[in-house]
Amino acid sequence: MILRQGINWQGTVWVGFFGLILLAWAGLFAMVVASPTAGVPAGIWTTLCTSATAAGWPALFAMWALMAASMMLPTFVPALRTFLNLGAAGATRPVDAVALVGGYGVVWLGTAAVGALAQQVLAGWGWLAPDGSSLSGWLTAALLIVAGLYQFSMFKAACLAKCRMPMTFFMERWAPGAARALRMGVEAGALCLGCCWALMALAFVGGTTSLLWMGAATLFMVLEKLPDLGRLLTRPAGVALVAAGVFTAFSAILGP
């Protein structure tokens, strides 16, 4: 009976977790398809698609928060699964799992706030198109090269090592209770941010309203955190990004 109850509450956690992901993607889809000519009532999403500077920081933050949830929550699945598996032995409770996800989300909400501010500033300088993509060849080149070089950094390697071994992460920090789970969620979010911040910054290359870029980036970040497959992706992706950045820089030098 105890095992069955554990399975039931874990199932409820998973339903809620994936429900958050689906709601975030639904919100992003509504944002992208909304336009003044599509018969959609004017509102936050129409404003965002029209002009980032006109939308204002709160609206941009809402967009970045949805983007962070839709892209980064899927990468947290291995860690959450490991945490819930500990619950099968009575080591965790439903409130602990909620606190863990909440702590992880706090980090990415903070990141969304910074991303929204960066988009507002860059759009105000005329460096971004209304869809959030770069209008400057030099900005594009810089973002690509920085993201590519970061793939080879020791800091990213250290963060990835922790993300790829969630059981080790939890055993090193384990203590019972929701407060401790919240702290572990924040720490896991910080490690995830250390892995992915440069890739997330490429939103200003692919476009902050591009579902295609978001989907591709989410898939890459999920695969990169897998212990075996991920090791085969990190450095080749770095080479490709640096090469793309160098090509873009030369294109900017040569002009149209």
Q: What is the pLDDT of residues 45-70, one digit of tens each?
A: 445 545 555 568 888 999 999 999 99
pLDDT of residue 32: 72
Half-sphere exposure of 159 (CA within 13 A, CB side): 21
Query: Using CA atoms, how far apart are residues 45 and 153, in angstroms rounded to an integer?
Result: 37
The tens digit of pLDDT for each residue in 140-166 reads: 999 999 999 999 999 999 999 999 999
Cβ neighbours around 239 below 10 Å, total? 12
Q: Which of 145, 132, 127, 135 is nearest to 249 (CA)?
A: 145
Residue 37 burial class via C-beta count within 10 angstroms: exposed 0-12, middle 13-18, buried 19 and up = exposed
pLDDT of residue 254: 79
Q: Is 177 left (phi over 0), alpha (psi -120 to 50) or beta?
A: left
Cβ-based burial of 208 (10 A; exposed 0-12, middle 13-18, buried ≥19): buried
**Range of lowest pLDDT (81-95, 160-174, 181-195):** 81-95
Q: Is the pLDDT of residue 18 over 50?
A: yes
Give the whole-angstrom CA distance, residue 31 versus residue 43: 10
Q: What is the mean pLDDT of residues 120-130?
A: 91
